[in-house]
Amino acid sequence: MTKRLKASERRATILAVAKVLFSDKGYHGVSVDEIATRLGVSPAILYRHFPSKEVLYEAVLNEIACKRESYVGVVVDSDGSFDDVLRKITRIYIDSVSRDPDYLRMELHSALEGSDATRQFFENRWKPFTDYIEFSLGEMLARKSIAPVEPRVAALAFQGMLREALYAKCIYRSSRYVDMPLPELCELLVDMFLQSIGYGATPCVDTTDATARSD
């Protein structure tokens, strides 16, 4: 006999099963029927909780990745400086994503599938970084307080290095970085990024000869 679940329990079970399937096969590789079959329920029950596969997919991502409220919290707690806000939003993002590497697998699948809808979901997750870096560097350039740099390229470089660090640690589990916990690795990458744009407020944590400039 099938146990009757409360709505909240049913919703949580759907999300858990859908997450495993999406991370294993991607958005297009999974049908609503397949999720329903795996759950042992009819597609109608699934649609009662999630009106479409797209909504279910987004709900799975929202369960894993940090919410916007979390960004508000860290910005409120920050001293408002570029480096402090960048460090704090980076930390909160890697904490949430590294807790569940299925999120990263879904991102990789999305890149291969080339679907506009799923690509948009992930782009939105990176927007707090890319928009914040691009806009802030534009302002700092106008004040001549950093070295000449192309803000969009800098934002892309930051996104690339952070994403690669997450893949190396959480997906590939690379032995090369085994002695570096992810938060420490990301902290070093943020330091390196700040040095590379000539942001002078960050103390150098490495032994290399940093030549950070500030006007």
Partner 1 sequence: MLNADLEVDARGLNCPLPILRAKKGINSLASGQVMKVVATDPGSVKDLEVFCRQTGNEMLETSQHDGEYHFNIRKG
Please report, as ranges, the residues that interact with partner 1 according to CB under 8 A: 68-69, 71-76, 80, 85, 89, 127-128, 131-132, 135-136
198 phi/psi in degrees, rounded to 5: 75, 25
Nearer to partner 1, 71 or 177 (CB): 71
Least separation in angstroms between CB 75 and partner 1: 5
Least separation in angstroms between CB 72 and partner 1: 5
Nearer to partner 1, 113 or 134 (CB): 134
Nearer to partner 1, 7 or 76 (CB): 76
The answer to whether 107 and 123 have CB atoms below 8 angstroms apart is no
Q: Who's near 166: CB < 8 A, 6+ residues apart?
A: 94, 97, 98, 104, 182
Nearer to partner 1, 84 or 100 (CB): 84
The answer to whether 105 and 25 have CB atoms below 8 angstroms apart is no
Q: Is 83 helix (H, G, I), strand (E, B) or coil?
A: helix
Closest by CA to 117, choosing from 25, 55, 66, 46, is: 55
Give the C-alpha separation, 181 to 4, whole Å: 43
Beta strands in 95-190 (DSSP E): none
Least separation in angstroms between CB 180 and partner 1: 27
Angle, vertex CA 132, rays to CA 168 and CA 82, nearest 5: 90
Q: Would you give the DSSP letter of residue 177?
A: G
Nearer to partner 1, 74 or 170 (CB): 74
Least separation in angstroms between CB 111 and partner 1: 22
Least separation in angstroms between CB 109 and partner 1: 25
